[in-house]
Structure 1
Amino acid sequence: MAADVKESLISPRRIRMAKLLSGLVIFAFLITHLANHAVGLVSVRAADDMRRFFLFVWRTGPGTVLLYGSFLLHVILALAAIYRRRSFLMPRAEAAQIVFGLLVPFFVVDHVISTRIASELFRLHDNYENIVHMMWTKSPVDGLRQSVGILVLWLHGVIGIHFWLRYRAWYQSAVPWLLTAAILLPVLALLGFIEMGRTIASPIFLLSGYPGGYYDPTSLSAAAMSTLRSISLGTYSAFGLSLAAVLLLRVLRWLKERAHLVAIRYPNGETISVPRGYTVLEASRLAGKPHYSACGGKGRCSTCRVQVIEGEENLPPPEVLEQRTLGRINAGPGVRLACQLRPKANVMLSPILVAVPEPEQQGGNYEAIPGRERDIAVLFCDLRNFTYLTETRLPFDIVFLLNRYFAVVGRAVEEAGGRMDKFIGDGAMALFGVSGTAEDGCRQALQAAARIVEGIDELNRQLENELSTPLRIAIGIHTGAAVVGTLGYGTVQTLTAIGDTVNVASRLESVAKDHDVPLVISEPVASLAGLALEGQQSREVPLRGRLLPLKVFVFDKVLLRRLVPLSALS
């Protein structure tokens, strides 16, 4: 019973909440501190006047306990997180936040000791006039170090705030405003410090309590300075030894765990051996095995989930966060989240959503070219039942499904020699024959259509247990004259096509939906591609915006594979 109570008090969720709240307190202090610095652009006196409100919040008894308690708690939880982390393989932003966080104590300790501690112990009047005099006139190196420290602490906090808010629905629309504030505040604070430093360094400025130049109010006795140096050395030593102890404990844990490896096996015969305590997701990343996780392993999505095949009886039960996510998707027996599951014994499992390696990024957009008329082939495709499939899914799962579908379409188009134009919702548009002939473009478009249909069938096989109903594709292809060129504004420019040919291809995709077939092509496409369609029934369909109906050919899967076999595509 006592163990259960202890577990509930120090659960991962409570630890994350404590780290977040303590970080927010520190960030609130930093915002008010930087705002106070920024007032220095007006005058030193104005900054000191605002400092009274700053001290009213943070130098009262409750404010002091809240601030320094939050800082101590945040440091302890950060060191604990470094110990708990099984791997230092992580995104760059997360690594930057950790590095900045570890640097913060080395920048702020001296500043705290020379201001707050000196004020409490030796009655140093640590107003702006005196502190800026110390850091600008007497010791510019200290001023430079504190300026860098402000930026390091600010970047650490901003990255943490971003990680906290990035999945909120309103966050993306607020990013421009938040980013502007995140840049302006430290810049204005540093400019305020510089302006106060220049003012105080002026020969006509006399420090208060410094009449005639005989008394410097920032000077302390040798005994006082020795005491402050001892406090500084003790604080640095405590933090340095704590960090070293954490790293040493990690090494000892690693040595101990090497004797108790857990084997994670997959149906294809692959086995990953990791120390006990690693999550399945961490094991996949260490082994370089693609494993999808849209939320970054925070347990907020279900895209990393796995089906346990053997060894379920030896697994720890899911915690509250994992239970909540699995409950939202009505997960079946044996389904677990890879980012939360830490096997204690050998286990056999299979990822439910199969990840694919990311394609190499292109060096940039297509070269900017002026609009000109060309005969091209245009392909439109769309999922016919996607809205129904997404009604009961988590947003991250929808992202995963769309990315898998887009990967099928994108690879098919590129392998056939075409160019992706755009993705629109669950639809896509591709261009063929932009740099070749219309005949080549039509043949390439048909090849891409065959690859897309085959890829969707394969995707349905992979996600058979995941989809309530199979994905069904509708494709329309038309050829003709279109204006091809680089359109857009600023950095958002791409090669695209406009004109009646594009409109007709889009409407043929709708015709494919109406006839419940995967592909509809216009007669010009069939003729230029050299398809042998003698005896094949054609249809004439009316299209909005055209006076005469258009002759089209309707392809089911059997006819498509007979006329455009995959063996001819390699």
Structure 2
Amino acid sequence: MATVAATSIFSERSIRRARLGSGLVMFLFVLLHLSNHALGLISVAAADDGRRFFLSIWRNPVGTVVFYGAVLVHITLVLRSVYGRRSLVMPAAEMAQIVLGLAIPLLLIDHVIGTRIAHTLFQLRDDYETIVRLLWITSPGNGWRQVIALLAVWIHGCIGLHFWLRYRPWYDKVAPMLLAVAILLPVLGILGFIEMGRTIAEPAYEGMVDTHRYQENLNIRYYSDPQAQRQIAIIRAGLYGSFSGALLIVVGARTFRRWRERVNQITVRYPGGEAISVPRGFTVLEASRLGGVPHYSVCGGKGQCSTCRVQILSPHDDLPPPDKLEQSTLKRIKAASDVRLACQLRPTHDVTVAPLLVAASETTLPPNTQETSPGREREITVLFCDIRHFTSLTETRLPFDIVFLLNRYFALVGNAVEKAGGRIDKFIGDGAMALFGIGSSPQEACRQALVAAATIVRDIEKLGAELSDELSMPLHIAIGIHAGPAVVGTLGYGRVRSVTAIGDTVNVASRLETAAKEFDAAIVISETVASLSGADTAGVESREISVRGRALPLKVYVIPSDKAVELVEGKDV
């Protein structure tokens, strides 16, 4: 079903951005609020000092509009999302995020009334002394309710932040630090609240501070005037009623839609023989989830990846055309006309599909595997190396001698790659493939690959000199290096699984290693690697080679053995 153009403010992409932006505003509010609570571990006065800074951000006209606007937008879009889901069968993390998000307003409405609204209408001084005294001494049940609300808000925000960042190339590197913050900050905030409550409850506290102003605070109209109490009751009923009413409208609308759709169903069939009947308007991904058919969806069904893609095996000319978001993703992967994204395709008639990335059931997987994650796209650098004329070198040697030579060769290659900061992907015969940049920037990855290549060339020459009496010809290495986007993920079966890379970047790097043999050179690097690494290529021979699958020739730099170390040890690398 075609949607509004991607440029419209009401397009799915714009709506997702609005939901993300409003969520980030609220997350920042909660982060600062928890940090403020944590100051209670120092003293009540320190927390109040932090509160003045906190309020200077959020209790001015701009801050008020931004925050409460974000709250309204986020709640509205969450309810819209709940209504838009044709099936509530989803991964546990997504379900937890939705349930926590819907529970938060019900947990926090009283707290908002007792602080911001009471302050605005009745000039209540909602400082830490007043609020903590009420929540710790006067009404401890409400105090623990706020602790639960605090945890719900924080966990909801952290799940959303994780979903947003988990496929960024740098996320794995900072994830441990973010996890530590995610655990420590609410713990410190709760401990700060408890410490302030215990301090204020101490009899000695009454003699240490002037509580006269606190008593004056309790005597304002918010507490003593029946008219004010009625006004607060109306506000409370209005807020609870508005949210509960909106939620009931969503539930009612979903129920009514489902009732109407019961007589208007379609069937989605799969190659394994499964046939799942769903109401018209369901996506293929929702049908798979509803029927328990394993189906990848790395981005959570948002059309931002292609892991859920399916091939249409039945007539597909009259299916709803892809919208702008789906078109963009399909164009990027150069998908055929019969390939669609399962999370975006809403069939209008019976359809037969075949998921192109076959997912294994998580319950059948060995522990601590990554098989349920098909990988992610990264900017990496790939190095291929191979011993030239290896067959001629070993055709007259005993098998055990060949094993000895290969193990020496593998050891020096592996040592060079790991010391430079890369990882060995695989050994194939007398060849090796190494990856750089899984945890570093593309520039650093290229520099690491060049350092590893120069080290391999140097060590191969030493090994050749050491074994010169036993070899029929000198040892020479051919190395190809290229950088670019590739999908990095876990591939294999059973116990033979490892992290590897696939894509055009890998194919080009392999082609450059072959070119190094053709040019009788030690190393051939692409122009991309030379540019990103900052290598001094002055005086280095450049050529253009053809690469299968590419329309235009690729510019490369051809580096002989005697220039390899000089290039890496030169300036700017």
TM-score (norm 2): 0.63
- Aligned residue number for residue 153 of structure 1: 153
Asked whether the equivalents of residues 265 and 348 of structure 1 are also in contact (C-alpha less than 8 Å), the reply is: yes
Aligned CA distance change for structure 1 residues 292 and 145 (closer, same or farther; 3 Å): closer
- Aligned residue number for residue 231 of structure 1: 235
Aligned CA distance change for structure 1 residues 115 and 215 (closer, same or farther; 3 Å): closer
2:269 is equivalent to residue 261 of structure 1 = no
Task: In structure 1, list runs of 5 or more residues that go unmatched.
Answer: 366-379, 411-419, 428-467, 469-570
1:342 aligned to which of 324, 342, 346: 346
- Aligned residue number for residue 190 of structure 2: 190
- Render the CA deviation track for 1:320-365: whole Å, top value 9, x for unaligned: 2211211111112221111111112233333333444456245799
- Render the CA deviation track for 1:45-65: whole Å, top value 9, x for unaligned: 121122111111100011111
Aligned CA distance change for structure 1 residues 136 and 426 (closer, same or farther; 3 Å): closer
Question: Structure 1 residue 317: deviation in Å?
Answer: 1.6
Q: How does 1:46-445 map to 2 (within 5 A)?
A: 46-206=46-206, 208=210, 210=212, 216=218, 219-266=223-270, 270-358=274-362, 360-362=364-366, 399=489, 403=491, 406-407=492-493, 410=494, 420=495, 423=498, 425=500
Where 1:310 maps in the other structure, the secondary structure is coil
Aligned CA distance change for structure 1 residues 38 and 9 (closer, same or farther; 3 Å): same
Q: Structure 1: how far apart are the matches of 2:38 and 2:303?
A: 40
AA aligned to 1:66 is: V
Asked whether the equivalents of residues 310 and 355 of structure 2 are also in contact (C-alpha less than 8 Å), the reply is: yes
Asked whether the equivalents of residues 308 and 347 of structure 1 are also in contact (C-alpha less than 8 Å), the reply is: yes
Asked whether the equivalents of residues 4 and 10 of structure 2 are also in contact (C-alpha less than 8 Å), the reply is: no
Q: Structure 2: how far apart are the matches of 1:354 and 1:314?
A: 26
Asked whether the equivalents of residues 22 and 73 of structure 1 are also in contact (C-alpha less than 8 Å), the reply is: yes
Question: Structure 1 residue 394: deviation in Å?
Answer: 7.4
Greater shift in the superposed pair: 263-272 or 162-171: 263-272
Q: How does 1:21-40 map to 2 (within 5 A)?
A: 21-40=21-40
Asked whether the equivalents of residues 311 and 339 of structure 2 are also in contact (C-alpha less than 8 Å), the reply is: yes
Asked whether the equivalents of residues 209 and 215 of structure 1 are also in contact (C-alpha less than 8 Å), the reply is: no
Aligned CA distance change for structure 1 residues 204 and 215 (closer, same or farther; 3 Å): farther
Aligned CA distance change for structure 1 residues 203 and 271 (closer, same or farther; 3 Å): closer
Task: In structure 2, list runs of 5 or more residues that go unmatched.
Answer: 370-425, 436-481, 508-573
Aligned CA distance change for structure 1 residues 290 and 145 (closer, same or farther; 3 Å): closer
AA aligned to 1:323 is: Q
AA aligned to 2:229 is: M
Where 1:272 maps in the other structure, the secondary structure is strand
Q: Structure 2: how far apart are the matches of 1:259 and 1:70?
A: 39
Where 1:30 maps in the other structure, the secondary structure is helix
Asked whether the equivalents of residues 210 and 217 of structure 1 are also in contact (C-alpha less than 8 Å), the reply is: no
- Aligned residue number for residue 460 of structure 1: none
Asked whether the equivalents of residues 4 and 11 of structure 2 are also in contact (C-alpha less than 8 Å), the reply is: no
Aligned CA distance change for structure 1 residues 394 and 99 (closer, same or farther; 3 Å): farther
Question: Structure 1 residue 202: deviation in Å?
Answer: 2.0
Q: Structure 1: how far apart are the matches of 2:235 and 2:214?
A: 33
Aligned CA distance change for structure 1 residues 105 and 123 (closer, same or farther; 3 Å): same
Asked whether the equivalents of residues 48 and 128 of structure 2 are also in contact (C-alpha less than 8 Å), the reply is: yes
Asked whether the equivalents of residues 104 and 152 of structure 1 are also in contact (C-alpha less than 8 Å), the reply is: yes
Question: Structure 1 residue 232: deviation in Å?
Answer: 1.1
Q: Structure 2: how far apart are the matches of 1:363 and 1:333?
A: 38
Asked whether the equivalents of residues 6 and 324 of structure 2 are also in contact (C-alpha less than 8 Å), the reply is: no
Aligned CA distance change for structure 1 residues 292 and 26 (closer, same or farther; 3 Å): closer
Aligned CA distance change for structure 1 residues 323 and 209 (closer, same or farther; 3 Å): same
Asked whether the equivalents of residues 6 and 325 of structure 2 are also in contact (C-alpha less than 8 Å), the reply is: no
TM-score (norm 1): 0.63
Aligned CA distance change for structure 1 residues 309 and 128 (closer, same or farther; 3 Å): same
Aligned CA distance change for structure 1 residues 387 and 336 (closer, same or farther; 3 Å): farther
Q: Structure 2: how far apart are the matches of 1:133 and 1:261?
A: 58
Q: Structure 1: how far apart are the matches of 2:50 and 2:276?
A: 59
RMSD over equivalenced CA pairs, Å: 3.5
Asked whether the equivalents of residues 329 and 394 of structure 1 are also in contact (C-alpha less than 8 Å), the reply is: no
Give the paired residue count. 399
Aligned CA distance change for structure 1 residues 87 and 51 (closer, same or farther; 3 Å): same
Q: Structure 1: how far apart are the matches of 2:38 and 2:316?
A: 59
- Aligned residue number for residue 501 of structure 1: none
Q: Structure 2: how far apart are the matches of 1:308 and 1:385?
A: 38
Question: Structure 1 residue 276: deviation in Å?
Answer: 1.1
Where 2:364 maps in the other structure, the secondary structure is coil
Q: Structure 2: how far apart are the matches of 1:212 and 1:322?
A: 59
Asked whether the equivalents of residues 210 and 216 of structure 1 are also in contact (C-alpha less than 8 Å), the reply is: no
Question: Structure 1 residue 167: deviation in Å?
Answer: 0.5
Q: Structure 1: how far apart are the matches of 2:434 and 2:344?
A: 30
Asked whether the equivalents of residues 329 and 393 of structure 1 are also in contact (C-alpha less than 8 Å), the reply is: no
AA aligned to 2:230 is: S
Q: Structure 1: how far apart are the matches of 2:156 and 2:176?
A: 19
Aligned CA distance change for structure 1 residues 392 and 240 (closer, same or farther; 3 Å): farther
Asked whether the equivalents of residues 427 and 433 of structure 2 are also in contact (C-alpha less than 8 Å), the reply is: no
Where 1:149 maps in the other structure, the secondary structure is helix
Asked whether the equivalents of residues 40 and 196 of structure 2 are also in contact (C-alpha less than 8 Å), the reply is: yes
Question: Structure 1 residue 284: deviation in Å?
Answer: 1.8
Where 1:313 maps in the other structure, the secondary structure is coil
